[in-house]
Amino acid sequence: MNNPEADRVVRPWGFVPTMGLFQALTFAYVSVMPGVFLKSIGASNSLVGLATLFYLPVALRFLVGASVDRHGTKRTWSLVCQLIQVFISALSGLLVLVGTPVSSVLICFGMAALIGAFLDLSTDGLFLVATPANRKAFFASLKVQAFRFGNAVAQGGYVMLVGVLASHFGGPKTGWGLVFLVHAVLLLLLGAWNFFAFPRLATDRPDHRPMPNPFAWYKKVFLDFVRQPDMLWVLAYLAVYRIGESLLAAMKVPFLLDAPAQGGLGLSLQQVGFINGVVALLMLVIGGLLGGIAVEKLGLKKTLVPGILLMNLPHLLFVYLSFRPSSWSVNLLGLEVPVVAQVILAIEALGYSLGFAPFIYMQILVSRGPARATLFALVAGITNLGWTLPGAGSGFLQELLGYGPFFIVITFLGLSSLALAPKIPAKRLEEEARQEEPAV
């Protein structure tokens, strides 16, 4: 039963970091691990690209928002989903180790993605009601940093660990099975902590107020939005803004792992985990901070075009790397780190995070009015589709073109949003936002 006094003793430091960590690890399990897992066991790039679709339920999570709000507390939803994620992760590890068909593991990824939609909604909802208004921005930043750290653990540490285990215990499948079990144990420990740390709040209760049909409500909000001047241009811009990065993200690991005879770099899982996880994710953090400062100081209009260029021009470095692979490496704690590949991935990650700042700022600016929460969820869902669907076709395109031409094509596809930039009423959007929320 909820305790009305609980609001007085809420300690966000006790649960916000583990909240972000759990979400990051489960996010990586459905959005990053399927592609790396499939590629490391010899799957084609077309199948690796299709693995991007596992992110689809999470991208469209706003569709299940009404269920989370109206039935049970957000704390209960989050903890139950966390427990299910532990079970799914452990099951996938056991299925790999006993040698079941790969399709059974893919089903686990799909189940985790569906549960992840409910997990993210309920956990984010609990965060909103459990953190004090005057410190919400600070704890939101703390949660983001915890999420990024969790991503580094998954994309870097997990992949490196798979490589180490594979070399000692009979190949990548055994390595993945053991890592999925390690993942389950980490989730179990975080979930146990969250069970005791998540607050029981009087304000965390089901919303039983009369509510319109959610699909009719989303339709009304969406139609009201697109009927505004220039909003169709804005929506088209947001939908295609990350198309180049989406195609690159899906094929980056296959390029690093594929043998030179296939146009790749022939790196090991340990090397991929290091250069695509640790350093690259550090650049994401730095770029995110600098990008946020730039948008705040310069505004949307002055950062719109630079954001497109920063996000997409680094892709040309992959063209260079595909035609002129370098064997120059340095030894770090016994691991040969390819220097040129490391530098290029770091530059690409920095450019992406710098370019992402005006993109997310525009989503915030257009999500105004009395239905701003619903509108933001809709806009985010559409932009997430603009990420997920191109990634699903990336493997087919790469197999058709080869790596070098593929990287050239995705660079120009990413730069296509430059054609839409003049249609964006950046100055008007910022002025309307200032009028709606005047400075105090």
What CATH number has the domain bearing residue 65? 1.20.1250.20
Q: At 35, which amino acid appears?
A: G
Claim to verify: residue 241 and residue 354 sit in the same structural domain: yes
Give the residue numbers spanning the domain of 75.
Answer: 1-211
DSSP 71: S
Mean pLDDT computed over 320-333: 85
Based on the domain organization, do 141 and 221 belong to the same domain?
A: no
Q: pLDDT value at position 6?
A: 44
Residue 324 has pLDDT above 50, yes or no: yes
Q: Which two tokens stand for residue 199?
A: 């607050």
233 and 195 in one domain?
no
Contact 255, 399 (CB under 8 A): no
316 and 171 inside one domain: no
Write out pLDDT tens, residues 156-172. Answer: 899 999 999 998 887 89
pLDDT at residue 47 tops 60: yes
Domain boundary residue, one of 163, 190, 211:
211
d(CA 95, CA 97): 6
Look up the pTM and report it.
0.86
One domain for residues 92 and 165:
yes
In total, how many domains does the chain have?
A: 2
Same domain, 411 and 279: yes
- pLDDT confidence of 137, banded at 50, 70, 90? low
Q: Name which of 50-54, 146-150, 173-177, 430-434 the model is least confident about.
A: 430-434
Helix (H) or strand (E) holding 132: none
Q: How far is Cα 176 from Cα 174, in angstroms, rounded to an integer?
A: 5
What's the whole-number mean pLDDT along residues 123-130? 81
Do 180 and 229 have their domain in common?
Answer: no
In angstroms, the CA 154 to CA 251 distance is 18
User: 18-22, 131-135, 235-239, 299-303: which range is least confident on average?
Assistant: 131-135
Q: Residue 348 — very low, low, confident or very high, per pLDDT cuts 50/70/90? A: very high
Residue 122 sits at the vertex; the CA angle it makes with 118 and 124, to the nearest 5 degrees, is 120
Pair 342, 262 in one domain: yes
Q: Is pLDDT at 205 greater than 60 in this prediction?
A: yes
pLDDT at 4 over 70: no
Q: What is the pLDDT of residue 335?
A: 86
Per-residue pLDDT for 244 more than 70?
Answer: yes
Instruction: Write out the two tokens for 370.
Output: 């009395």
User: What integer pLDDT is reported at residue 372 of this predicted model?
Assistant: 64
Does residue 141 have a pLDDT over 80? no
Residue finishing a domain among 211, 228, 262: 211
* Proportion of the chain above pLDDT 90, given as a percent: 45
Are 195 and 227 found together in one domain? no
CA–CA dist 118, 136 (Å, integer): 22
For the segment 385-421, what is each residue's pLDDT rounded down to a tens digit? 888 999 999 999 999 999 999 999 999 999 999 999 9
Residue 7: pLDDT band by 50, 70, 90 thresholds? very low
Q: Residue 39 in contact with residue 163, Cβ under 8 Å? A: no
User: What amino acid occupies position 119?
Assistant: L
Mean pLDDT, all residues of the chain: 86
* pLDDT, tens digit (0-9, with 9 covering 90-100), for 61-118: 777 766 776 777 889 999 999 999 999 999 999 999 999 999 999 999 999 999 998 8
- SS3 string, 193-226, reads HHHHHCCCCCCCCCCCCCCCCHHHHHHHHHHHHH
What is the DSSP-derived secondary structure letter of residue 55? G
| pLDDT score at 145 | 80
pLDDT at 117: 87
Question: Are 384 and 31 in contact, with CB atoms under 8 Å apart?
Answer: no
* Residues 322 and 415 grouped into a single domain: yes
